[in-house]
């Protein structure tokens, strides 16, 4: 099975004196979850920006299959004055919408609303729904369940794990228990 993500000898710094990481290597295959764990400011979200091509590394290479991302703050990932369904339709196929709505415990009517009309947990589930509907080979998850209560968090993570046949996932989390439960490997940065 070929890798859907290959990070080789990656080095990055915002200023040359302070490297966030040096010679970082990560490979990910379809069907795998790897968790990225580290203290605030260690470069976890920066790593996602590098994978998505929004930042350029100092050294090293990144080869990635088609990716989508779930951000930690769902309010910043949706336009505030545009209904959710329209924002999802702009970037994704609605082919499996009913199935994912059921798995996410979301009502279709909620998607007709503006982002501020949903709770943080509902909006985060809508964000995960949008990312899944984009049919990525690589799903980048930045603290995807931090806005969810414990029961919904477990249900959402179980649904994500059940979706591994179609993709691989890179998960940023501070929750070592969650990482230990779902990840094939925990990478400390």
Helix (H) / strand (E) element for 127: namely helix 120-133
Q: Which two tokens stand for residue 9?
A: 């000898």
pLDDT tens for residues 54-71?
999 999 999 999 999 998
Token pair belonging to 171: 């998960």
**CB neighbourhood size of 49 (10 A):** 15
Which pTM does this prediction carry? 0.90
Domain ranges in the chain are 3-188
**DSSP-derived secondary structure letter, 119:** -
Q: How do residues 2-53 score in pLDDT, each as one tens digit?
A: 899 999 999 999 887 788 889 999 999 999 999 999 888 888 999 999 999 9
Q: Tell me the CATH number for domain 3-188.
A: 3.40.50.300
pLDDT in tens, 81-133: 999 999 999 999 999 999 989 988 899 999 999 999 998 888 988 999 999 99
In this predicted structure, what is the pLDDT of residue 126? 93
Beta strands 3-13; 59-64: pairing state: antiparallel
């Amino acid at each position: 099975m070929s890798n859907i993500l290959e990070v080789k000898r990656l080095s990055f710094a915002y200023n040359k004196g302070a490297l966030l990481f040096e010679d970082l290597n990560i490979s990910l295959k379809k069907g795998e979850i790897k968790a990225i764990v580290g203290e605030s400011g260690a470069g976890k979200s920066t790593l996602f920006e590098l994978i998505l091509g929004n930042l350029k590394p100092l050294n090293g290479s990144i080869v990635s299959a088609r990716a989508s991302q779930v951000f930690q703050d769902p309010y910043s990932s949706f336009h505030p004055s545009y209904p959710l369904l329209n924002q999802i339709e702009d970037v994704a196929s609605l082919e499996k919408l009913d199935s994912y709505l059921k798995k996410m415990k979301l009502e279709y009517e909620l998607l007709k609303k503006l982002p501020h009309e949903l709770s943080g947990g509902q909006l985060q589930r809508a964000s995960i729904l949008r990312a899944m509907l984009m049919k990525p080979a690589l799903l980048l998850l930045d603290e995807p369940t931090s806005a969810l209560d414990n029961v919904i968090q477990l249900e959402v993570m179980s649904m994500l794990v059940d979706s591994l046949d179609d993709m691989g996932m890179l998960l940023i989390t501070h929750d070592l228990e969650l990482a230990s439960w779902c990840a094939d490997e925990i990478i400390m940065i």
